[in-house]
């Protein structure tokens, strides 16, 4: 088990900042793990590079990197804050396919990381009305965007209400 863990927030497409952090604080490893606490993309020019390097670390170095979903890991946010334009300009032919894949990855990013069963790290913090048990029980793959509630996939009475209550917990 590592002695320390580094929590890093809101890179927002600043690839140079990521490199400086890794240079000064050391490359991610099981002994030097990082939590990247969401908002990898939008605003900066190199969101794709940031996100791909983080995903690569996640896959290539087990236990080195934990990735939380921020409010910008959301395809509708990306339309407003620049990441869609970035991907379109870098991948003129394949941007649609790539963005579909990215949307799929967003759905499976966890909302939070728990350190030593004591500290919960989430991008937006929690409020008085946050129901941690409900968050634990969420099927996170259901949510492509926090800005639009999911369509109810059941015609059972009340199912849409439940979905909206669940969805609100994520805001
Ligand atoms: Mn942010």
Write down all domains in the chain, each with its CATH number in brackets: 6-124 (3.60.21.10)
Instruction: Give me the pLDDT at residue 4, please.
Output: 95
Name the stretches of the chain with pLDDT < 70. Answer: 149-171
**In angstroms, what is the span from residue 150 Cα to ligand 1's centroid?**
23
Which long-range CB contacts under 8 A does 126-131 form with residues at least 24 apart? 130/169, 131/169
CA distances from residue 130 to 4, 53, 56 in whole angstroms, order as listed: 28, 32, 32
pLDDT of residue 171: 44
Backbone phi and psi for residue 3, each to the nearest 5 degrees, phi listed first: -85, -25
Residue 165's pLDDT is: 59
The two structure tokens encoding residue 122: 């989430």
10-44 core/surface letters (b: 16 or more CB in 10 A; e: else): bbbbbbebbeebbeeeeebeeebbbbbbbbbbbeb
Query: Of 78, 154, 75, 142, nearest to 111 (Cα)?
Result: 142
**Considering only CA atoms, which of 133, 120, 126, 121 is closest in space to residue 166?**
133
Q: What does the pLDDT read at residue 77? A: 96
DSSP state of 131: -
Residue 156 CA to ligand 1 center (angstroms) comes to 37
Can you tell me whether residue 51 is helix, strand or coil? helix
For residue 123, indicate whether it is catalytic.
Answer: no
pLDDT of residue 95: 97
Structure tokens at 109: 């990013």
Q: Measure 100 CA to ligand 1 centroid, in angstroms.
A: 22
CB 144, CB 103: distance < 8 Å: yes
Q: Residues 23, 72, 95, 123: which is the catalytic one?
A: 72
- The predicted pLDDT at position 170 comes to 52
Instruction: At 91, list the tokens.
Output: 């991948």
Distance between CA atoms of residues 107 and 63, nearest Å? 21
Residues with CB under 5 A from ligand 1 (ion): 10, 39
């Amino acid at each position: 088990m590592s002695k320390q863990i580094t929590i890093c927030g809101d890179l927002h497409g600043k690839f140079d900042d990521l490199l400086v952090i890794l240079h000064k604080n050391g490359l991610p490893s099981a002994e030097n793990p990082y939590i990247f606490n969401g908002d990898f993309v939008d605003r900066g020019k190199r969101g794709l590079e940031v996100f791909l390097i983080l995903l690569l670390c996640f896959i290539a170095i087990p236990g080195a990197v934990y990735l939380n979903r921020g409010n910008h890991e959301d395809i509708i946010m990306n339309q407003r804050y620049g990441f869609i334009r970035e991907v379109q300009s870098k991948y003129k032919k394949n941007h649609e396919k790539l963005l579909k894949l990215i949307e799929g990855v967003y759905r499976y990013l966890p909302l939070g990381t728990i350190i030593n069963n004591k500290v919960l790290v989430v991008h937006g913090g929690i409020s008085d009305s946050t129901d941690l048990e409900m968050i634990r029980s969420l099927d996170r793959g259901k949510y492509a965007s926090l800005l639009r509630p999911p369509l109810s996939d059941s015609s059972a009475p009340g199912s849409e209400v439940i979905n909206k209550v669940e969805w609100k917990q994520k805001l």
